[in-house]
């Protein structure tokens, strides 16, 4: 481990960073009035609460800089807890700092995905109206808003060509037959007729349509008939479930479009991660596959060089492994040479941006549970880390003399910072939620390196309650991370929020156990096929060391987690040997066999379980299934799931709850009929928090 980084990690500079400008322009009088009327701050006693969390303005990470580098545009989403609704708007701010200005507050509906037209004279954005999601344009000051498309099925995203002659956009195309198509005389029949796999994905049933890439001629606010460059193909770009317009890009001269697509269907799709990078030539109307030979895993997010001679993208090597190393692949069009720029760099690389000289590529990468901005010289392959600190940089754009970047931490939600390119010195530009931070006390975040059972160093975040007193004893929570390959980094969650947990009087122990990125690929890969092995020992190492601290009440320990973290809680419940007094599992895997039979992306379970349960001999991973150890459960457990979670179906939670009830274990089940793997509706989320702390308080705070 890089011990030098400990000094940086122990710092809580992000919490204490100076806000030399007070800037509350993103806060409306209505928001302040609502906060005062409901008394959410008075009731909080200076501590962060779930209700207060829904007063936050949630700044988006899709910031865009004007062609002259003078102004930024970005989105903020705000929620109305009483109305159970949310609204997104577009803001602008000078690139060197100043007063933010809302640009779309006069529109009835939300606006999002704002981008600059290449000449800087217009801003394009998406608004949803009676015709669905459509492209609008406005002047940089927000005036003269005009709807410029009326696409039948709406659009999923768009980009201007650099020469302003075309627009590329994604839109759904219906290609499959519905029940009504097949049985027109039975209009009230309601059934899904399924002949292949991938009939549902993460949170949605298949809707008989596919997201295709379209190119349309454009001239100052008008587009001509669009051409579907994927016509007839039963594939999606952007790819499901999380893909966006980063998977589509223009060449600098506007003559070509690059896009990522996994051109597989049904059973073949669910068994493979092999997506490709395609180049569509507007003149010849031909499509070329750049990655068909030798690149077998995910290939994503292509970015052309400014001179058009090169293209870089994110690539994984192993087919079927969705958490493989994200490599930086560079292709030279003139020589057809393909180079792995990140060879020897034992970290992921993503979010590529070219410098104008065609010699430098900026990117983001995770290191020791933080995410930083880097650059690489493509000739020398020298990699330079630009930023350091206890934070996650999520996205960035290149300014005149600085990077303009979105940053968050466990202590503060996303804001925009200006980062000096050579020194990494930061200046905060937006202060979206300062009016809230000014009224609360934040918890202290500390990094601790803990020895594991195999003598490795494991970074564990410890979050202490506000006004922490080392002479007192505190109930303590072991936080189990999901993924499974997803770092316990400096994320700011609006539900699994460590500041809220700490404000509620708990110490949080959040280990970066085996199977998480940002600590090298070996650490990341260890978990596959070993769900009940070393990473579980890592959990015990973390909580056992902290339990020896005089301020930790070792008789009041709890374990909480979601997804793989929810599985971890189920597993710990059968193996903890009396350590814990309360458990909470959200969307966890309980029974490996039924999980295998009811999930959707089979490459995931085939990699992590090392095969199907019917194989002979059965893969050893199935011996780690929590249901095999449920007879050992003896501790109160709260179990939560959403009915529209198709990755880990809610029946897993039902199985666990039913077993707990039959065994006489104190238990409660929350099922959210309209939620997915994530609880996103405001009032559902607040209810989730109330049940979460109600359960913990009952079993960890009462004598």
677 is catalytic: yes
In the chain the first and final C-alpha atoms are separated, in Å, by 41
Instruction: Look at the block and give the residue holding tokens 């936080």.
Output: 479
β-sheet bridge partners, residue 256: 281
563 is catalytic: yes
**Residue 638, Cβ density class (10 Å: 0-12 exposed, 13-18 middle, ≥19 buried):** buried
Q: Which of 110, 563, 568, 667 is catalytic?
A: 563
Q: Which of 55, 299, 645, 667 is catalytic?
A: 645
Q: Are 243 and 201 in contact (CB under 8 A)?
A: no
Q: b/e for 195-206, b at 16 or more Cβ within 10 A?
A: eebbebbbbeee
Across 604-655, where does the E strand assignment appear? 637-642
Question: Measured between alpha carbons, how far is 703 from 699 in angstroms, rounded to an integer?
Answer: 8
Q: Which of 166, 300, 391, 677 is catalytic?
A: 677
Q: Are 295 and 329 in contact (CB under 8 A)?
A: yes
Question: Measured between alpha carbons, how far is 57 from 90 in angstroms, rounded to an integer?
Answer: 12
Question: Measured between alpha carbons, how far is 473 from 45 in angstroms, rounded to an integer?
Answer: 21
Return the SS3 of 51: helix
Query: Which tokens hold the place of 245?
Result: 């317009």
Output DSSP code: residue 366. Answer: E
Find the radius of gyration of the CA atoms of the chain.
25
Nearest to 117 by CA among 219, 9, 20, 215: 219
Return the SS3 of 376: strand
In this structure, are strands 310-315 and 299-304 parallel, antiparallel, or unpaired? antiparallel
Q: How many CA atoms lie within 13 A of 250 on its CB side?
A: 20
129 is catalytic: no
In this structure, are strands 637-642 and 123-129 parallel, antiparallel, or unpaired? unpaired
Nearest to 244 by CA among 62, 469, 57, 22: 62
Return the H-helix or E-strand segment holding 596: helix 592-598
Q: Catalytic amino acids?
A: 563, 645, 677
């Amino acid at each position: 481990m890089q011990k030098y980084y400990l000094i940086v990690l122990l710092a809580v500079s992000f919490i204490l960073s100076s806000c030399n400008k007070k800037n509350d322009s993103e806060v409306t009088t209505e928001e302040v009035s609502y906060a005062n009327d409901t008394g959410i701050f008075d009731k909080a006693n200076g501590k962060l609460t779930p209700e207060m969390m829904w007063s936050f303005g949630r700044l988006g990470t899709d910031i865009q800089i004007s062609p002259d580098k003078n102004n930024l545009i970005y989105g903020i989403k705000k929620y109305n807890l009483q109305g159970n609704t949310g609204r997104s708007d577009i803001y602008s701010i000078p690139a060197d700092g100043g007063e933010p200005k809302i640009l779309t507050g006069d529109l009835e509906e939300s606006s999002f995905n704002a981008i600059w037209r290449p000449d800087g004279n217009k801003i394009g954005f998406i608004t949803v109206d009676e015709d669905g999601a459509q492209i609008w344009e406005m002047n940089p000051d927000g005036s003269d808003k005009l709807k410029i498309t009326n696409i039948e099925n709406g659009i999923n995203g768009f980009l201007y060509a650099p020469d302003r002659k075309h627009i590329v956009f994604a839109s759904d195309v219906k290609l499959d037959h519905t029940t009504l198509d097949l049985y027109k005389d039975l209009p009230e029949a309601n059934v899904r007729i399924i002949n292949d796999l991938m009939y549902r994905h993460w949170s949605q049933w298949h809707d008989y349509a596919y997201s295709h890439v379209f190119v349309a001629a454009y001239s100052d606010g008008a587009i001509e008939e669009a051409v579907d460059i994927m016509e007839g193909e039963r594939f999606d770009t952007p790819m499901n479930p999380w893909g966006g317009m980063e998977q589509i890009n223009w060449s600098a001269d506007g003559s070509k479009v690059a896009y990522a697509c996994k051109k597989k269907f049904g059973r073949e799709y669910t068994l493979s991660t092999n997506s490709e990078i395609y180049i569509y030539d507007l003149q010849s109307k031909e499509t070329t596959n750049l990655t068909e030979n030798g690149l077998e895993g995910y290939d994503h997010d292509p970015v052309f060089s400014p001179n058009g001679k090169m293209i870089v993208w994110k690539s994984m090597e192993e087919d079927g492994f969705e958490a493989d190393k994200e490599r930086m692949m560079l292709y030279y069009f003139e020589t057809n040479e393909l180079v792995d720029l990140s060879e020897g760099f034992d970290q992921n690389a993503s979010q590529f941006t070219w410098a104008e000289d065609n010699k430098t590529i900026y990117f983001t990468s995770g290191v020791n549970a933080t995410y930083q901005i880097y650059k690489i010289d493509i000739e020398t392959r020298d990699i330079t880390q630009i930023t350091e600190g206890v934070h996650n940089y999520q996205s960035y754009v290149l300014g005149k003399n600085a990077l303009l970047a979105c940053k968050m931490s466990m202590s503060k939600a996303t804001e925009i910072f200006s980062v000096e390119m050579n020194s990494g010195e930061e200046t905060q530009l937006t202060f979206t939620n300062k009016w809230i931070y000014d009224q609360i006390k934040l918890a202290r975040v500390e990094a601790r390196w803990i020895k594991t059972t195999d003598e490795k160093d494991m970074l564990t975040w410890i979050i202490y309650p506000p006004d922490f007193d080392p002479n007192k004893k505190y109930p303590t929570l072991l936080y189990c991370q999901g993924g499974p390959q997803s770092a316990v980094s400096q994320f700011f969650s609006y539900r699994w929020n460590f500041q809220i947990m700490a404000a509620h009087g708990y110490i949080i122990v959040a280990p970066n156990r085996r199977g998480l990125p940002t600590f090298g690929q070996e650490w990341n890969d260890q978990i596959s096929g070993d769900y009940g092995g070393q990473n579980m020992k890592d959990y015990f190492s973390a909580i056992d060391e902290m339990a020896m601290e005089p301020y930790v009440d070792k008789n009041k320990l709890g374990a909480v987690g979601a997804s793989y973290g929810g599985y971890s809680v189920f597993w710990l419940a059968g193996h903890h040997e009396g350590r814990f007094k309360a458990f909470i599992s959200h969307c966890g895997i309980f029974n490996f066999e039924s999980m295998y039979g009811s999930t959707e992306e089979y490459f995931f379970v085939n990699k992590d379980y090392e095969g199907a349960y019917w194989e002979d001999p059965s893969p050893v991973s199935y011996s780690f299934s929590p249901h095999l150890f449920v007879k050992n459960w003896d501790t109160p457990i709260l179990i939560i799931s959403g009915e529209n979670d198709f990755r880990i179906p809610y029946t897993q939670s039902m199985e666990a709850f039913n077993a707990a009830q039959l065994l006489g274990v104190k238990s409660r089940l929350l099922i959210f009929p309209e939620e997915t793997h994530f609880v996103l509706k405001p009032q559902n989320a607040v209810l989730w928090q109330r049940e979460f702390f109600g359960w913990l308080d009952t079993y960890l705070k009462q004598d």
